[in-house]
Amino acid sequence: MLDATSMPQNVVVLGGSSDIAKEFIKLLSSRRLEKILLVGRNKDKLDEFGDELRNLNIEPQIFIHDTRNFDSAQQLANVIKNEFTRVDLLLVATGMLGNANIDALGLNGVQEMIEVNFTGPAIDITSVLPILKDQRGSRVIALSSVAAIRPRKDNYIYSAAKSGFDNFLQGIAKELEPYSVETSIVRFGFVKTSMTTGLKPAPFTIELKDASQLLMTVLEKRKTGIIYLPPILKYLFLILKNLPDTIWWKISERS
């Protein structure tokens, strides 16, 4: 159950070995977290994190599922039903950054980028949707990105996928609203993670610790809808979004 301060007891994480998810879950574990289902494709990483949680007296379950795999996506709902009486928080952190050079990516690379950041998690969420509706009250926090707002030359495939996913999430939020499920779509700016090593940090870059602390506030203060983290980005992107194309492409190339 969620408590008065929205602290969850049972959590399902899609993208269970994402750095941001892991950091956030560690914060939750010092509050009410009891049971968690980690969903992801990398068994070693999930096992390692599972052990870490077990040491904190949390009961982890692991479901190996590549978000690109349609068959295991269909099983996801059953796995959750078998493991949990309720899901208090669904955290969606599935995603990948990567080479943005379309020639280097090739057909497979482009397909993977789009599936892992958009169609995969969208289908996973769809699979879990009936459970969320049935429960009549819970929270969804899904990680989107400011990249969803406008494409840059060096990230437009990622940006396109995230923008599709972000729009999908906005619809899901409306879909779930009548069932007392509150959805937060978190458009993160640049967070320093293992995914971003080697990339040039953008303005308002934040550390993992800050990112998870900000997510905690989203939960505690029941912030729903589209949320920018850090919040200042909301105003920055209000401006960037409305820049004429020529100017946008020029400055986005330079940053």
If the CB atoms of residues 187 and 223 are measured against another protein, the closer one turns out to be 223
Judged by beta carbon, residue 30 or residue 108, the one nearer another protein is: 30
- Asked if 130 interacts with another protein (CB under 8 A), we say no
Contact pick of 77, 199, 208, 216 for another protein (by CB under 8 A): 216
Provide, for the chain, the percentages of residues in helix, strand and coil under a 3-state DSSP scheme, each rounded to the nearest 5. 55, 15, 30
Q: Which of 48, 70, 74, 136 binds another protein (CB under 8 A)?
A: 136
Phi, psi of 35 (to 5 degrees): -130, 140
Shortest CB 34 distance to another protein, Å: 8
Does residue number 174 form part of the binding site for another protein (CB under 8 A)?
no
**CB-based contact 108:157 (threshold 8 Å):** no
* Binder among 43, 209, 221, 250 for another protein (CB under 8 A): 221
**Would the CA dihedral through 62, 68, 70, 74 be positive or negative?**
positive
d(CA 186, CA 170): 11
Output DSSP code: residue 154.
Answer: T
Q: Does 137 bind another protein (CB under 8 A)?
A: yes
Choice between 65 and 139, CB closer to another protein? 139
- Judged by CB, which is closer to another protein: 7, or 122? 7
Q: Which of 190, 117, 187 is closest to 157 using CA atoms?
A: 117
Q: Find the angle CA(205)-CA(227)-CA(209) to the nearest 5 degrees.
A: 40
CA angle centred on 115, ends 228 and 14, rounded to 5°? 60
Task: Provide the minimum distance between the beta carbon of 223 and another protein in the complex, in angstroms, as a whole number.
Answer: 9
Shortest CB 132 distance to another protein, Å: 11
Check residue 217 for interaction with another protein (CB under 8 A). yes
Distance CA 158, CA 114 (A): 7
Of 112, 163, 171, nearest to 140 (Cα)?
Answer: 171
Q: Does 253 bind another protein (CB under 8 A)?
A: no
Does 177 bind another protein (CB under 8 A)? Our answer is no
On whether the CB atoms of residues 39 and 63 are closer than 8 A, the answer is: yes
Provide the minimum distance between the beta carbon of 213 and another protein in the complex, in angstroms, as a whole number. 9
Task: Please say which residue, 75 or 180, places its beta carbon nearer to another protein.
Answer: 180
Q: Which of residues 24-63 bind another protein (CB under 8 A)?
A: 30-32
Chain positions contacting another protein, by CB under 8 A: 1-7, 9, 30-32, 86, 134-137, 179-180, 216-217, 220-222
